[in-house]
Structure 1
Amino acid sequence: LLEREDEIEQASEPNENSITEQETPVDSIEIAIETDWSDTNHFDLNRPMTRAASDDEYDSFENRASENLTLADHLLWQLNLMPLTERDTLIARVLVDSINTDGFLDADLEEIIEALAEELDDLEYDEVECVLHQIQRLDPVGIGARGIAESLTIQLAALGLLGEDVSLALNLVQNHLALLTKKDRTGLRRALKCDDEKLDTALELIRSLDPKPGSNICSSDPEYVTPDLIVRRNLDGWVVELNSDALPRVGINQTYQNFIKSGDKSETNDYLKGQLQEARWFVKSLKSRAETLLKVGTCIVEEQTEFFEKGPVAMKPMVLADIADRVDMHESTISRVTTQKYMHTPRGTLELKYFFSSHVGTDSGGEASSTAIKEHLKELISNENPKKPLSDNKLSQMLSERGFKVARRTIAKYREMLGISGSSERKQLF
């Protein structure tokens, strides 16, 4: 886990020469999670602590959310980290200014070219589109698209999945959005030339995407965070690594270290040796915290692999004790480790605590997470007849048909947590 920057500054105050910033961060540790990739493209819908340090050292975990910024500021911050030419940077800034709060590009590229005509000579469509594609690689995934179809296509590609399920989903969003809007299943089956099972799988994948990628960032009180961990997929499986940009770059000044070592036995030098030892401990502590965060994050990804493949509907029930047992730490430590610590994934930047949820029973005798139940609940309500919305009792029955034992009062609680009104308020007369 990483110490907050003001604590690092305070630690250096007693002897500013003992600790100095270096360009070498804590080494990133990359751990590939073993996964059976033979089934990658199938979406099935249907303790005492052993370390010497005290828990107290985790009490100062912090929220590193940046100050309130706009979506444009968020995008420009990322663009500043990219190796763009001065010409491309100017194009990018105009494009960003044309992205609305939902994350879509409001202007045609021809309008962008016209706006830049006086500043840039010989500006062509392909050049502007190339810069736009660079913007579309930024966070949040799907940003800068020229329509919902392009945005969903970008998000599907970012998942890094292959197979017939993804091909059907791509075909649907690129060519048959009108049928999807009408909820015309017969028309979709005919257009995609697939059966109900394959259509449901493609629809489930699409439901895991964000139709308005900019809306979650732009709000009356926006909050931005720097992810502590990055999750990506390679040929060997899911990989979790530390975000080097979030790590403090702190080390021992070698020149002063050698000076203190070769000094005499005076009281002053003894004091400096004490400060040097504290500096060493501090650097070691920072590295230990980062390694602990990586270990916890890796365990979470191992437990929730299905989530990364299929989305929230596949979230497994998981509590703090599950991870605490695996890493041999106390639950309170895991709670502090995962609070206000974030993981950047193909499905968005998520707080580590997001992956923990309560559970409900299933007909098979197993358990399902409340996150997955909420996702099923959202799906059922989104597909209901607006003139005859589903009651909580009916929703409970329908979830039971899917194998989930959820009481009516629990349905009401989950619905309220999702910000969904009751059936009488959802009813549309016309």
Structure 2
Amino acid sequence: MKQGLALRVSQHLALTPQLQQSIRLLQLSTLELGQEIQTMLDENPFLDVQGEEAGEDFGIAVSDQKPAADEPETGFEGSVGSLDGAGTSTSTSSSSTSEAEPEAGEFGSGTVESEPSWEGDGSTETVPDDGEWGGDAPAAKRNNGGDDDEVDATDLARGNESLQSWLHRQALSLRLGEEDQMALRFLIESLNDDGYLEEPLQELAAGLAPDDLEQQEELVHRFTVALRLLQTLDPAGVGARNLAECLTLQLKAMQQDEEDEDIAACAAAIKICQQSIDLLAKRDIKRLAQICGETEANVRSAIGLITRLEPKPGRRFVDVERNVVIPDVLVTQVGKGSRANFRVQLNPDVMPRLRVHDVYAGALKSHKGEGHQALQQRLQEARWFIKNIQQRFDTILRVSTAIVERQRNFFIHGELAMRPLVLREIADELGLHESTISRVTTAKYMSTPFGTFELKYFFGSALGTETGGNASSTAVRALIKQFVSSENAKKPLSDSQISEMLKEQGIECARRTVAKYREALRIAPANLRKAL
């Protein structure tokens, strides 16, 4: 084969470092962006936080003076968008870096709501939901702490005291020998966050004395005695090894309470907890009444009592790090009714105040010695970083303005008026790629008069209607939630009945689709929603 040289012209796409950084910054959440900015500030000497001095800056300079009525409230071009009553999108620009903080009553009731849910309406700050169990559970009032008779477990939990610390304090009042105290302390430290003892006593003993069977038997005996003491401490149910034992411990504590009104219901509830937990979950009243030898009325009362218990005794003590959702975009309504206008603006609280350090940049211009090329590259990286962050916020504002324009009815009437919307529609309107819209709408939040929602919340698939139109899946889920909230608790609606009700509204939705939406809304099936 003969070798030779040939000239060929071709095109190919190359991702420059600047473009790669722009794409990466676009998909970061507000929290991740803050971490990225802090990393860049630590690594790049030319990047600085904007202060009183002038510089090549980007972001917000907070001022005590309010802007004039005809001035926008953000610090760079394209930072404010608005929609008039006809749905036309307009934007205002300004080169000023002066920004007035929003007044307390400017948006909604004066506070930005943050209501996260499984539907993506914001959030991250929720306590684990166990359905209806534990919702009305009163705090147990048993105290073994001597001088702490007035202290309640709930108060301790609010004071960020851990479950183990609270139990150790109670254990100090018990007159135990040194070895028994150590055994009780070991069991307390072996509890999980929910207050359960997951490992069997034999395994705990084997872990302490792996090669001595005689010592293991002695440890198991001491652990058994210590476990009985542990299960008498507050909160009730702590130290249980399974759910049935946890509920039984709480019921026995209620039996000892002289103020308890229904001792018969407690006794029946204890019998029910000793049976298969599946029968309780299915609320098989007839089967439970037959097995426990109780009347159906007593079984109903007992199940009602069980549903008020706390399945996770240690839940009140779990110090969960709550990440408050800070919206990236603020939408305010001006006027009322169909002619209402909507103002879309970036949240100044999440916008960084960055600049290129003047002193270092000026010194670099006059310095041509060793390392000049490397420092010049770092200066260029700082300018790229500031430009890419500005482009990130510009893109978020453009997408948010387009969403508000498309979902105008939602901002007036709520989620029942949500219309079908897909990423491609916004991408075609703004001249962007669909993947760019996906990055913008991920982990970015919008504050609206109805709460704070992730931008992805405003996108939903379409369901057909009898008139040939389309209905948004978000609106259908809201309609299902409305049907369930207004149903008769003694005769809850089945999925088939909800499907028929949707058809009466002109929405074609199959039963299995209703079941999928119901599960996404974390709504229990009809047999579990039925009131006893």
TM normalised by structure 1 equals 0.54
> SS where residue 403 of structure 1 aligns?
coil
Q: Distance in 2 between matches of 1:383 and 1:349?
A: 25
2:250 equivalent in structure 1? none
2:358 corresponds, among 238, 254, 274, to: 254
Hey, what's the Cα distance between the residues in 2 that align with 1:31 and 1:394? Answer: 44
Cα distance change, pair 11–342 in 1 and its aligned pair in 2 (3 A) = same
Write the deviation string for residues 5-51 of structure 1: whole angstroms up to 9, x where unpaired: 332233344442x11100461525111113239xxxxxxxxxxxxxx
Query: Which structure has the greater CA radius of gyration?
Result: 2
Which residue number in structure 1 is paired with residue 331 of structure 2?
231
Q: 2:386 aligns with which of 283, 297, 313?
A: 283
- Partner residue of 1:268? 371
Partner of residue 243, structure 1: 347
Contact 2:495 2:511 in 1 (8 A): yes
> Which digits, 9 at most, give the CA deviation of each residue in 1:331-370, with x for residues without a partner?
2221121111111111111111111112211111111111
- What's the CA shift string for 1:290-316, capped at 9, x where partnerless? 101111111111111111111111111
CA RMSD of aligned residues (A): 3.0
How is 1:319-334 mapped onto 2 (pairs within 5 angstroms)?
319-334=422-437
2:456 paired residue among 346, 349, 353: 353
Query: Using the alignment, how far apart are the partners of 1:425 and 1:271 within structure 2?
Result: 67
SS in 2 for 1:270: helix
Instruction: Provide the C-alpha distance between the structure 2 equivalents of 1:425 and 1:388, rounded to a whole number of angstroms.
Output: 11
How far apart, in 2, do the equivalents of 1:67 and 1:358 lie? Answer: 24
Is the Cα contact below 8 Å between 2:124 and 2:325 reproduced in 1? no
One-letter identity of the residue aligned with 2:80? E
Residue in 2 that maps onto 1:410 = 513
Q: 1:328 to 1:256 in 2, by over 3 A?
A: same
SS at match of 2:524: coil
* 1:214 equivalent in structure 2: none
Structure 1 stretch displaced more, 26-35 or 406-415: 26-35
8 Å CA contact 1:69–1:223 kept in 2: the answer is: no
> 1:5 is matched by which residue type in structure 2?
G
Gap change, CA 1:320 and 1:69, over 3 Å in 2: closer
Q: Secondary structure at the match of 2:377?
A: helix
State the alpha-carbon separation in 2 of the partners of residues 6 and 221 from structure 1.
17
Flag the 1:416–1:9 CA change in 2: closer, same or farther, 3 A.
closer
- The change in CA–CA distance for 1:220 and 1:362 in structure 2 (over 3 A counts) is farther
Instruction: Tell me the distance in 1 between the aligned counterparts of 2:518 and 2:354.
Output: 47
In 2, Cα distance between the equivalents of 1:424 and 1:239? 46
1:250 Cα deviation from its structure 2 partner: 1.0
Q: 1:397 to 1:69 in 2, by over 3 A?
A: closer
Any residues of structure 2 matched to 1:90-101 within 5 Å, and which?
none
Correspondence 1:18-417 to 2 at 5 A: 18-23=46-51, 25=59, 27=75, 29-36=79-86, 222-235=322-335, 237-261=341-365, 263-417=366-520
TM-score by length of 2: 0.44
Cα separation, 1, equivalents of 2:126 and 2:418: 31
CA distance in 1, matches of 2:424, 2:436: 10
**What are the Cα deviations for residues 168-189 of structure 1, in whole angstroms up to 9, with x where unaligned?**
xxxxxxxxxxxxxxxxxxxxxx
Q: Deviations over 1:207-247 (max 9, x none)?
A: xxxxxxxxxxx996743122111111225711111111101
Structure 1 CA distance, aligned partners of 2:415 and 2:375? 54
Q: 1:10 aligns with which of 39, 42, 60?
A: 39
Query: 2: distance between equivalents of 1:67 and 1:357?
Result: 21
Partner of 1:174: none
Partners of 1:276 and 1:9 lie apart in 2 by 17
How far apart, in 1, do the equivalents of 2:427 and 2:460 lie?
A: 15
Q: Distance in 1 between matches of 2:342 and 2:40?
A: 36
Moved more, 347-356 or 228-237: 228-237
Aligned AA (2:48): T
Aligned residues: 255
| Percent identity of paired positions between Structure 1 and Structure 2 | 44
